[in-house]
Amino acid sequence: MVRTGYYAPNIKTSFSIRQVENGGACIHKMQANRSRQALTTGSTGAGIKGKEETMTDVILETRNLTKEFKGFTAVSAVNLQIERGHIHALIGPNGAGKTTCFNLLTKFLVPTSGQILFNGKDITMDAPAQIARQGIIRSFQISAVFPHMSVLENVRIGLQRKLGTSFHFWKNGESLKQLDQRAMQLLEEVDLTGFAHTTTVDLPYGRKRALEIATTLAMEPELMLLDEPTQGMGHEDVDRVTALIKKVSAGRTILMVEHNMSVISGICDRISVLQRGALLAEGSYEEVSRNPQVMEAYMGSTSAELQGAH
């Protein structure tokens, strides 16, 4: 365990590398970025009530995004537009291509063809670390935190990664104090201040997902990609994490893969449905949940509705 008063050394684990590759930008810098002039790309879809209607420019776009594996097409000519400030869900039956699409967006897979644009810039050929530095950060489906460190130390490591100080074992007390102050602010944002000095392995599962979101926020993303954030949770934890996602979405953009339709109907502005790697439908929850093609893909029938489906 990293002792309080010291920075973590370079911890050579698969997740520490993953954290490097999934970074973002500082909160104040991120807020400044959001205030810049809107991109001259069109908007799509309708936001849910309470969202600012001025946030209509496109932060992420894919054009005919395709991925083939030895003759099998996992993602086929997908065109997505993610609007700045929205919570956008990517849904579909098992095997629809959602995770492959996420892997393409974060460059853990290289597209066979097509383009990915972030803030109007073509990032199709960028490496994962470059994607992270530009402000796209992904949380993983499996809770990815250091189990034998405290909650505070986990968030502090995320801050160190962002600031480029993680390879310095000795730092002065003032620098450490500043990091701890920022870490506590992030813990407050995700309602974990009471767990700051708790060893992570002792946290309930839902709280670990909250910690993962905090470490993601420590990397200060402009666009957060959440991979099934409520998977494996009981109703109480689902409600807590759903409320947390809604809370941290203020002033941020979120793209999420999620199977729980109650979560999606409650917080998502727009939904894209994949089936067999292709874009099947798009729209608000009300539109998508009544789409006969979506019903057929999910339920094997065109006479049902997705309401509350999980």
pLDDT of 203 over the 80 cut = yes
Residue given tokens 């897979």 in the structure block: 109
With pLDDT > 70 as the criterion, what percentage of the chain qualifies? 72
Q: Please report, for the chain, how many H helices and E strands are present, in that order.
A: 11, 11
Q: What is the reported pLDDT for 15?
A: 34
Query: What is the reported pLDDT for 100?
Result: 95
Token couple for 1: 């365990």
Q: How far is CA 292 from CA 84, 92, 96, 215, 238, in A?
A: 29, 14, 17, 40, 28
> Per-residue confidence at 172, pLDDT binned at 50, 70, 90?
low
The position carrying tokens 């990815």 is: 144
Average pLDDT for residues 90-117, to the nearest whole number?
94
256: DSSP letter: E
Mean pLDDT of 90-95: 91
Quote the mean pLDDT of the chain: 79
pLDDT at residue 52, rounded to an integer: 43
Enumerate the H helices of the chain as residue ranges: 14-21, 27-34, 98-105, 128-134, 151-163, 173-189, 205-218, 235-248, 261-267, 285-289, 292-299
Number of other CB atoms surrounding residue 14 within 10 Å: 8
pLDDT higher than threshold 70 for residue 165: no
> Structure tokens of 278?
């292709």
What would the pLDDT profile of 266-294 be if each residue is shown by its tens digit? Answer: 999 999 999 999 999 999 999 998 999 99
Q: Would the pLDDT of 307 be above 60?
A: no
Classified as helix, coil or strand, 270 is: strand
Note the pLDDT of residue 295. Answer: 87
Question: Once rounded to an integer, what is the mean pLDDT over residues 76-92?
Answer: 97
Predicted confidence at residue 112, as pLDDT, reads: 97
Q: Does position 9 have pLDDT exceeding 80, yes or no?
A: no
Higher-scoring residue by pLDDT: 297, 226? 226
Q: Average pLDDT, stretch 60-83?
A: 96
pLDDT of residue 4: 38
| pTM to 2 decimal places | 0.75
Q: How far apart are CA 77 and CA 66, in angstroms?
A: 5
The answer to whether 102 touches 225, Cβ cutoff 8 Å, is yes
Name the architecture of domain 14-298.
Answer: 3-Layer(aba) Sandwich (3.40)
Res. 83 pLDDT band, cuts 50 70 90: very high
What percentage of residues in the chain have a pLDDT greater than 90?
Answer: 57
- Phi, then psi, of 2 in degrees rounded to 5: -75, 125
* 3-state DSSP assignment of residue 234: coil
Q: Which pLDDT belongs to residue 253?
A: 97
The residue-averaged pLDDT of 227-250 equals 92
117-153 confidence digits (pLDDT tens): 999 999 999 999 899 889 999 986 555 688 999 999 9
Work out the angle at residue 228's Cα, subtended by the Cα atoms of residues 222 and 230, and round it to the nearest 5 degrees: 110
**What are the tokens at 270?**
């727009």
DSSP string, 16-48: HHHHHHT----HHHHHHHHTSPPPS----S-PP
